[in-house]
Amino acid sequence: MTRPIDPVFASVLERRLKAITEEMGLTLLRTTRSPILSEARDFVTGLYGPRGEIWAQSEYIPILAFALQPACRAIIAAFEGDVHPGDVFLHNDVFSGGNQNNDVAVFRPIFVDGRLVAWAATKGHQADIGGAQAGGYNPRATEVWQEALRIPPLRVVDRGTLRRDVWRMLFANVRLPIVEEDIRAQIGGTVMGERGVVELYRRSGAERVESHLAHLFDAAERRMRAELARIPDGVYTGESMVFDDGHHEGSRHPIRVTITARGGELSLDYTGTAPQTVGFVNAPLASSYSAVLLTVLMLVDPEIPHNEGILRALRVDIPRGTLLNADFPAATTFGNTLAGPHSDAIFRALADAVPDRVSAGWNRMLGMTVAGMDPRRRRRYVDILFLALKGGSGAVRGCDGYDHIGLINTAGGILAQDYEMLEIQTPHRLLRHEYLPDSAGAGRWRGGLGVVTEFVVEGDDVTGVTFGDGVEDEARAFGLFGGRPGSANRLELATPDGRTLVPRAKDVVAIPRGTIFRQWAGGGGGYGEPRERPREVVAAELRDGLISRDTARAVYGLER
């Protein structure tokens, strides 16, 4: 006989599962060593059922919303019938469910009374993962082996015993010792997940937990369908552009989506999207599905639990061999960054249908990974420069965009580096970091402001790798309903011998010691007619130096 659903217990269970994933996240924040994880929070934690169904997740950056489930199912398929208490598995392979080479996942099976009931998982961006270029971003790559060490489903702990030969082989192919420590921290995070789930089962009983899990999935599906039903039934098309594949300067690669809304269900068809490129400007399917999910979640009630139920109302068809679903053995490290133009296409498609929910364009990320030798300690370092790349978000109806938030796939999850920690952990001396005036797209609600960053590079044998776009005028964050676009990105290197280098958006450059790094991260797009913005708000922003007098007069119509 099926036990009736207790709504109070269902609510408690949903919150407890979420709390367990948050406890896993706190473990990572307190034990990881790389600032990519401990400061920028570029990771996700989650709990999954025995078949890989999503129980609960805490995505510290949104692009990881679908980053663990496909890899979990790859682990399950590879080791079916051969999983034991105390096992630990690693995975990063983008051709078997991974989203990015540097994002390494750790999985731990959870057993209760000898039965596999769940998986605890963590995934975090590693400072290095082998390949031809330190840090993992290689604009010159044309195949996956030039990018990273591939880790298909791999058991590293067998029944509680570390497989030392496998462990040594892995980290012999990674440049930075800190990565080994961070993976150990991720394993520790899964221990916290295991403890929480086992305690939950012991306290509440397996039958009660699992029947209420099914109820939670159904409830999340109902809420998701109700939210999507607010999109009028119809067929909507949108397009955006990806600029420069890193091998053909000036190349253009369209993303095209046809969205069919019908009865609380969304189907997204990417027929017509550009073929995969020869370079690393491609995405694996898991990364592209995450971009779909993070964008859709921006259009619905943020309180809907992130579990298996929310996926049931979505149908996504991304043809193989395209920019968003590249075939083996394509290079794909840029794939997470494609979330920006990917989301642009979806927002443009749905702008007229749900104008109160879509966002104007977000600043396209222009990033640089800097790797070299720290002369103070004579050890290698890698810095992704999260401080400098954070542009502004797009405005929405009723609200200005967020200032200095970053690419849409981070959506505020990636925090800026602490100034003092930046100078302690890297041989960089910060000179300037402040909001960039006039960078926000004007509008009734303006876009978010970008930033300007300057620092001196004091490392030896330093290489910089640029990855991103937004330098082209047409790549600026778009405005909606009369709103203006945000400003463009710009990056330059002033070398000690008086030269000024302007790297391409996808490039590898040598950086002499003493070079001054300067970056201007653009702002987000505006929403609505600028001259409808309240006069007192415009005047205050003029006084604060966020806009110039010329902009206040010519764009906003402020006469004095």
pLDDT at 498: 94
**Residue position matching structure tokens 């010329």:** 550
Structure-block tokens of residue 525: 């797009």
SS3 191: helix
- In 217-365 the beta strands, taken as DSSP E runs, fall at 234-243, 252-262, 265-269, 314-317
C-alpha span between 67 and 46 (Å, rounded): 10
Structure-block tokens of residue 444: 């009734």
109 upstream amide cis, omega within 30 of 0: no
Sheet arrangement for strand 314-317: 234-243, 252-262, 265-269, 314-317
Strands 490-494 and 460-468: unpaired
| Contact by Cβ (8 Å): 478, 355 | no
**Residue position matching structure tokens 């690393």:** 280
Half-sphere exposure of 135 (CA within 13 A, CB side): 25
Domain extents in the chain:
7-222, 359-560
| Contact by Cβ (8 Å): 131, 139 | no
pLDDT at 2: 59
C-alpha span between 400 and 396 (Å, rounded): 7
pLDDT (tens place) for every residue of the chain, 560 residues total? 457 899 999 999 999 999 999 999 999 999 999 989 998 899 999 999 999 999 999 988 888 888 999 999 999 999 999 999 999 999 999 999 999 999 999 999 999 999 999 999 999 999 999 999 988 899 999 999 999 999 999 999 999 999 999 999 999 999 999 999 999 999 999 999 999 999 999 999 999 999 999 999 999 999 999 999 999 999 999 999 999 998 998 899 999 999 999 999 999 999 999 999 999 999 999 999 999 999 999 999 999 999 999 999 999 999 999 999 999 999 999 999 999 999 999 999 999 999 999 999 999 999 999 999 999 999 999 998 988 989 999 999 999 999 999 888 766 667 778 899 899 999 999 999 999 999 999 999 999 999 999 999 999 999 999 999 889 889 999 999 999 999 999 999 999 999 999 999 999 999 999 999 999 999 999 999 999 999 999 999 999 999 999 999 999 998 86
pLDDT at 412: 64
* Closest of 432, 426, 479 to residue 127, by C-alpha: 426
Structure-block tokens of residue 114: 């000898």
pLDDT at 559: 80
C-alpha span between 1 and 19 (Å, rounded): 31
Strands 314-317 and 265-269: parallel
| Contact by Cβ (8 Å): 42, 125 | yes
Q: Is 211 exposed, middle or buried (0-12, 13-18, 19+ CB in 10 A)?
A: middle
Residue 443 CA, distance from chain mean position: 27
pLDDT at 413: 65
DSSP-assigned letters across all residues of 409-434:
TTTT-SPPPPHHHHHHHSSEEEEEEE
pLDDT at 1: 47
Residue 289 vs residues 12, 188, 510: alpha-carbon distances, Å:
30, 28, 35
SS3 442: coil
Residue 21 vs residues 13, 128, 182, 195: alpha-carbon distances, Å:
13, 25, 18, 11
> Can you give the pTM of this predicted structure?
0.94
- In 290-395 the beta strands, taken as DSSP E runs, fall at 314-317, 366-374, 379-383
SS3 217: helix
* Closest of 274, 246, 276, 146 to residue 505, by C-alpha: 246
β-bridge partners, 155: 89
